[in-house]
Chain A
Amino acid sequence: MQNYGVYVPRLVTKKEPFAPGHRACIGCGEALAVRLACKALGQNVIIANATGCMEIVSSPLPTTSWKVPWIHTLFENTAAVASGIESGLKIMMKKGRIARQDIKVVAMAGDGGTSDIGLQALSGAMERGHNFTYICFDNEAYMNTGIQRSSSTPYGAATTTSPAGKVSIGQVSWKKNMPAIAAAHNIPYVATACPSYPFDLMDKVEKAANTPGPAYVHILSVCPTGWRCPTDLAVKLGRLAVETGIFPLYEVEDGKYKLNFDFPGLKPVTAYMKLQGRFRHLSEDILEKIQKRVAADYAELKERAIEG
């Protein structure tokens, strides 16, 4: 299509199921990701949200940012709550207790609520095959409680519980590959996304919601507060994460990998890392080590995508 960039934004709904006025920090990439995901999900949805930044900023009694049905209960159980919602709706429709209707059931959680404390509940819900979409908003730490490390925090990042010090480089483990864990459950749809690529994100969320059975979308969400970067960098950093190969955008459909954006020459990881205070302390050696690992991981992913 000609003038794609001009027309497509106009096709996006002006409705904001995730209303403005919430209390997220200035320049929050996670709030942007939630906003875009909600636009893609539309009105016929029920959202179960884990404890975390997005829950806290959106629901201080007696106010709410949610114009769609929304429930928060605890930190680690969102996938299980979604299981109950999905099962409840399905059986009541079957028994004729409520009208038949296509209602999307969506679970939302942060990286902590997903890859750490909520992993068991998520694994169970995916394995049981509930018809639901799980969206992980990955800002690479427990931000709500003050920037503590999670298993999704990248190697070398300083957080309040993986501080850089005389004898520590900060986070000493490599980021847990949550999309691969989801894909290992043999669910029909897994995707990674980033709000710096808004249409790609919305397409994927919509696709996930329309997939019968479990679908998993992992969204990199820049957190200026926790990443120690200027508040106007969320979109730029998201792009750099993709362009450096640190956070590739891909889909796994029925086990087949597809790389959505490929870059013949990846930008150096330093282009991304130098803009963030959480990596400020890293030596050239460590940066080199990270560069090597990113290149290897990217090559492996590409290989899988070629194999299909």
Chain B
Amino acid sequence: MADRVGIEVSVALSDAVKQANVDVIAAYPITPQTHIVEHLAELVANGELDAAYIPVESEHSAMSACLGSAATGARTFTATAGQGLELMHEVLYVASSMRLPVVMAVANRALSSPLSVWGDHSDVMAVRDTGWIQIFTENGQEVVDHVFCAFRIAEDNKVLLPVMIHLDGFNLSHVIEPITFPAQSKVDKFLPPNKYPLPLHPDKPVTMGDFAPPIIYTEAKWAQEVNLRASKEIIIKCWQEFANIFGRQYSPVESYHSEKAKVLLLTMGSFSETAMTAIDKMRGEGKDVGLVRLRLWRPFPFDELRRAVENAETLIVLDRALSFGGPGGPVCSEVKAALYGQAKKPKVVSFVAGIGGRDISPSDFEEIINKGIAISEKGSPNEFEIYGVRE
């Protein structure tokens, strides 16, 4: 069955959710996530997917229903974007704190106001600290692959944390790409049935979601932090086993001609592929540039990132979100924090571009890199540069 087919990424994602034999889907439609939930509803309606589809009345209820479902031990999926992700906000913390292995696809979208249905990473950044494992994908194949990986990681009894699969709204969610679907037998082998250790069931009553007085809250939160950090090893192991079975290898930080490059660009999400085109061109012209892509956003891969950039002189970080009144793009802030204490580190330049669906072309990337090099040499009075803004 491992044939390549041309298919819209949202539809492919839903087909992968079907292959993962999900039990419960609770979702509320929002552009650009709609094709995902529509196709899932269709699969359930046609009897192709034996799952409960809960057409909830809001994203707050979508995630809340996911909590209840996951707490019974059912394999649980939802998808959202932008405003929907923000409406879920307080519920997201509960999913991770109560260690409920929900998997959610986020078709990343800008936030109102002004209203924009188009892609950027504002929604992601606002939920950065919710305690979820967060993985960025760059193309349709990665999206499909990560549906299987996400369930396996989330439901691993050493992890038991919810996982967000980020795919850029429109730029990735709505494009038609060649995708290889794995044979069902291989999926079943890679992804064992969900065995939630203490599900809600009268046979063994459990109390979930107590309130914590000050004498115990810190311990509860620290346990959560330790658990999320420790999940990195299991994520890496999962990717390794995925590679063994399916032949495609993923890592927390991925590089492209970056090993010896003096100048590095760092991106997250689907724009990485456009950036590669620019890097190819510039390298062809003899420029010493490379690309670093951050795949694992949470838990943040400190060691991998430090290793990936330690030999560079300049690191240009591209953010697709603004941290208003802050030190620069949110990704760049974290990168700077990760490098601050390092003896050997590049100069870091922060760029914000591609917000609210504005495209970044290969020539834009070239310009960003060239400007970044100039800033790292001469300095800039700004905390960060916003690229291509008309003033």
User: Is B213 a contact partner of A69 (Cβ separation < 8 A)?
Assistant: no
Residue from the list A71, A80, A90 in contact with B71, Cβ < 8 A: A71
How far, in whole Å, are A60 and B264 apart by their CA atoms in the complex?
Answer: 51
A59 touches B (CB below 8 Å): yes
A211 to chain B, nearest CB (A): 19
A62 touches B (CB below 8 Å): yes
Q: Which of B23, B57, B212 has the most CB of A within 10 A?
A: B57
> Which B residues, 205 to 220, have Cβ-Cβ distances below 8 Å to chain A?
205-213, 216, 220
Knowing A46-B201, A92-B73, A128-B55 are in contact, say whether A73-B210 is a contact too (CB < 8 A): no
User: Is B211 a contact partner of A59 (Cβ separation < 8 A)?
Assistant: yes
Residues of B within 8 A of A83 (CB): 26, 54, 56, 61, 64-65, 68
> Which A residues, 54 to 100, have Cβ-Cβ distances below 8 Å to chain B?
55-56, 59-62, 64, 66-74, 76-77, 79-92, 94-95, 97-98
How far, in whole Å, are A60 and B214 apart by their CA atoms in the complex?
Answer: 11
Residues of A within 8 A of B60 (CB): 76-77, 80, 121
Residues of A within 8 A of B220 (CB): 61
User: Is B193 a contact partner of A97 (Cβ separation < 8 A)?
Assistant: yes
How far, in whole Å, are A203 and B216 apart by their CA atoms in the complex?
Answer: 40
User: Is B52 a contact partner of A85 (Cβ separation < 8 A)?
Assistant: no
User: Is A95 a contact partner of B50 (Cβ separation < 8 A)?
Assistant: yes
Residues of A within 8 A of B67 (CB): 71, 73, 77, 81, 84
B26 to chain A, nearest CB (A): 6
Knowing A60-B213, A76-B60 are in contact, say whether A70-B24 is a contact too (CB < 8 A): no
Interface mask (A117-142 → B, CB under 8 Å = 1, otherwise 0):
00011011101100000000000000
Binding site for B on A (CB under 8 A): 43-46, 48, 55-56, 59-62, 64, 66-74, 76-77, 79-92, 94-95, 97-98, 101, 103, 120-121, 123-125, 127-128
Knowing A68-B202, A84-B24 are in contact, say whether A120-B61 is a contact too (CB < 8 A): yes
17 residue pairs of the A-B complex, CB under 8 angstroms, read A48-B68, A59-B210, A62-B216, A66-B205, A71-B67, A71-B200, A72-B210, A73-B67, A84-B26, A84-B70, A85-B71, A88-B70, A91-B52, A97-B74, A103-B202, A120-B58, A121-B61
Residues of A within 8 A of B201 (CB): 46, 69, 98, 103
A289 to chain B, nearest CB (A): 37
B360 touches A (CB below 8 Å): no
User: Is A90 a contact partner of B202 (Cβ separation < 8 A)?
Assistant: no
Residues of chain B at interface, number, CB under 8 A: 46
Residue from the list B64, B72, B210, B213 in contact with A77, Cβ < 8 A: B64
User: Is A66 a contact partner of B207 (Cβ separation < 8 A)?
Assistant: yes
User: Is B57 a contact partner of A88 (Cβ separation < 8 A)?
Assistant: no
A36 to chain B, nearest CB (A): 19
User: Is A74 a contact partner of B210 (Cβ separation < 8 A)?
Assistant: no
A77-B64, A84-B24, A84-B72 are known; give 12 further A-B pairs, CB within 8 A.
Answer: A69-B201, A71-B68, A73-B67, A74-B91, A80-B26, A83-B54, A84-B70, A85-B200, A87-B54, A89-B72, A92-B72, A121-B61
How far, in whole Å, are A271 and B361 apart by their CA atoms in the complex?
Answer: 77
Determine the residue in chain B with the shortest Cβ distance to A71.
B208
Residues of A within 8 A of B207 (CB): 59, 64, 66, 69-71
Residues of A within 8 A of B23 (CB): 88, 91-92, 95, 97
Knowing A46-B202, A60-B213, A69-B205 are in contact, say whether A85-B61 is a contact too (CB < 8 A): no
User: Is B74 a contact partner of A88 (Cβ separation < 8 A)?
Assistant: yes
Knowing A59-B209, A61-B212, A121-B64 are in contact, say whether A73-B91 is a contact too (CB < 8 A): yes
